[in-house]
Amino acid sequence: MGVRVGVEKPVFLGEDEDEHRVQVKKDEIKRAIEKLMSGGEEGKEMRKRAKQLGEMAERAVRKGVLLTLM
């Protein structure tokens, strides 16, 4: 669950296809932030999911640190 911004196709720089950029217009960023921060149900769900993912990442990092200390 997320807010899509940017162009459909990346812009490739030079010959290396791994090196590319995506152009995002300020209006698209504004729309995405407003959608995320809205008091509506979709915004609430997105913030809830982001919090869950953050907690999962924190647990994974803690577990990784514990494994390296063993």
This prediction's pTM: 0.54
46 within some domain? yes
40 within some domain? yes
Residue 1, pLDDT > 60, answer no
Specify the pLDDT at position 56: 92
Chain centroid offset of residue 31 CA: 15
Residue-wise pLDDT for 26-62, tens only, equals: 888 898 888 888 888 888 888 899 999 999 999 988 8
Residues 6+ apart with CB under 8 A from 7: 22, 23, 24
Q: Which domain holds residue 30?
A: 11-69
Q: How many domains does the chain have?
A: 1
37 within some domain? yes
Residue-wise pLDDT for 22-31, tens only, equals: 677 888 889 8
1 within some domain? no
33 within some domain? yes
